[in-house]
Amino acid sequence: MDDGIHVTIIDDGHEFNPLNASAAEVNCDLACRPVGGVGILLTKKLSRGVEYHREGCKNVLKILI
How does pLDDT run across 3-14, given as a tens digit for each residue?
899 999 999 999
- Residues 51 and 28: their CA atoms lie apart, in Å, by 29
Predicted structure pTM score: 0.81
Average model confidence (pLDDT) for the chain? Answer: 91
Range of the domain at 35: 6-64
Segment 53-62, tens digit of pLDDT? 999 999 999 9
Asked if residue 45 is part of any domain, the answer here is: yes
Asked if residue 60 is part of any domain, the answer here is: yes
What's the number of domains the chain is made of? 1
pLDDT tier for residue 1 given thresholds of 50, 70 and 90: low
- Residues 11 and 61: their CA atoms lie apart, in Å, by 9
Asked if residue 47 is part of any domain, the answer here is: yes
Distance of alpha carbon 37 from its chain centroid, rounded?
8
Q: Would you state the pLDDT for residue 27?
A: 84
Asked if residue 1 is part of any domain, the answer here is: no
Got the DSSP string for 29-44? -TTTSPSS-HHHHHHH
